[in-house]
Homo-oligomer: A and B are copies of this chain.
Amino acid sequence: MENVLIKELYRKIEEYNGKDIRISGWVRTIRASNAFGFIELNDGSFFKNIQIVFEKSLDNFKDICKISISSSLDIEGSVVLTPEAKQPFEIHAKNIIIEGNSSVDYPLQKKRHTLEYLRTIAHLRPRSNTFSAVFRVRSLAAFAIHKFFQDKNFVYVNTPIITGSDCEGAGEMFELTTLDLSNVPRNNDGDVDYSKDFFGKETNLTVSGQLSAESFALAFRNVYTFGPTFRAENSYTGRHAAEFWMIEPEIAFADLEDDMILAEAMVKYVIKYVMENAPEEMEFFNKFVDKTLFDRLQNVVNSDFGKITYTEAIDILEKSNEKFQYEVKWGIDLQTEHERYLTEKVFKKPLFVTDYPKDIKAFYMRINDDNKTVAAADLLVPGVGEIIGGSQREERLDVLEARMLELGLNKEDYWWYLELRKYGETKHAGFGLGFERIIMYVTGMTNIRDVIPFPRTTGSAEF
């Protein structure tokens, strides 16, 4: 007898109607009388449960009546349409095998739990409605991103996680080592003797795969990374994790304009893919997590994203009557309050802000002709602020070297990065998208801890 996923059953009910099938899953609710009972069963393949009807005629009727929530069952039964009832169909059980009876102290009983509490049972929370939906959407969004780039012939590149250098010249990093911390070896100068470490030198966890991705873009033209990145920044906000996944496309023979076109297309694609492939989950988020969700996402999908320069943005902010916590003047890094004002109040749709002052941006961004700004573009979206940071990269060897000198970066550390400018350099660009940021955006979840299976944040690496 065919073992069918509950999702399959919902999607192809006509095909299964009247047939005998096997299904397996965990009990969400059970209620029984002396003669018969009902089980809401969920197998994790689908947001919705399936109703099982079972009768006294079953040998183990009494045992079934006593099982607890989250017990696992194997069921054989026939599929029966129920056009009059709340649920479109149900299973009339012919045989129920109790695989695992859940203990009565199961912590996820059918009542409301706070998200904070659910974080303490991260091994069980995917069995709740909310997290079942969150992590299915996360999975679909990941696939959407791969499909978007693969359909466009982009090459997926796994840039290294372990790195010998701080690529962005910014951001606190985790050091990794096989040295014995209780007895760190020293060299003759009394310094840590990294020659004894696994790689024979100091190594860290990557904060960005961009520089490596550039080298691949200058061979494959269009590439993307999608992997974990790390920041050892002390932060207790709901928006920062020490370990998160990032998508970093890099395109050659392309400028900032091409970069923005790509970013806009990708964001729209991911939203549409999730809306189409997880309609039940998205309904749930819109109903119970963020009632403005559908309006917000429709607005993104249907808008032509706006575009202004940083200088124009500062001008708008200065002329506004809004009271900001942080002072506005040319040269500042835009704060979330500024970003949200621009995208929510002024443009009322997603908005690229371009050409930021070079002093607040990274060394690899292409210097504009004004010699004051760089060809950067951040995408701001209503409800969040910045979601994507991108730029055209400095492809001119002399300009790049001068900039690195200015910033005190050591040329030798970047020998191979500089060589990319020597052997057939071309204009190229790319951007970075924090994967969790987009998951938060499409689900309405507001804490990054609730969109990562087992989150790692300052002071916390549980499970």
Contacts and interface: CB of A to CB of B under 8 A. Distances in A.
Nearest to A67: B424
Contact of A176 (B153, B160, B205): B205
Interface stretch (A77-85, A161-169, A350-358): A161-169
A243 B181 CA distance: 22
A294 interface: no
A323 to B, nearest CB: 37
Contact of A192 (B71, B181, B219, B463): B181
A454 interface: yes
A132 B453 contact: no
B253 A3 contact: yes
Contacts of A296: none
A164 B462 CA distance: 7
Interface stretch (A120-128, A303-311, A362-370, A379-387): A120-128
A164 to B, nearest CB: 5
B426 A99 contact: yes
Contacts of A121: 416
Q: How many copies of this chain?
A: 2
Interface stretch (A32-40, A142-150, A440-448): A142-150
A252 to B, nearest CB: 8
Interface string A323-361: 000000000000000000000000000000000000000
A205 B160 CA distance: 14
Interface string A191-233: 1100000111101010000001001101111100001101010
Contacts of A298: none
Given A24-B426, A174-B178, A160 B453 contact: yes
A72 interface: yes
Interface string A426-463: 11000000000000000000000000111010111111
A198 to B, nearest CB: 6
Contact of A221 (B5, B219, B422, B453): B5
A453 B99 CA distance: 45
Interface string A132-162: 1001101110110011001001111111111
Given A146-B143, A159-B453, A242-B198, A221 B177 contact: no
Given A45-B153, A127-B219, A461 B424 contact: no
B162 A199 contact: no
A88 interface: no
Interface stretch (A100-108, A262-270, A312-320): A100-108
Interface string A225-268: 00110101010000000110100000011000000000000000
Nearest to A70: B424
Contacts of A164: 461-463
A35 to B, nearest CB: 26
B160 A456 contact: yes
B162 A456 contact: yes
A290 interface: no
A225 B413 CA distance: 34
A75 to B, nearest CB: 11
A182 interface: yes
Given A160-B243, A216-B453, A424-B72, A143 B135 contact: no
Given A198-B232, A253-B3, A422-B103, A172 B178 contact: yes
A320 B172 CA distance: 58
A20 to B, nearest CB: 17
A175 interface: yes
Contacts of A390: none
A419 interface: yes
A253 B99 contact: yes
A179 interface: yes
A74 interface: yes
16 contacts: A7-B153, A26-B219, A72-B425, A99-B424, A100-B395, A100-B424, A122-B416, A123-B420, A140-B150, A143-B147, A160-B454, A164-B461, A175-B181, A176-B205, A182-B192, A201-B461
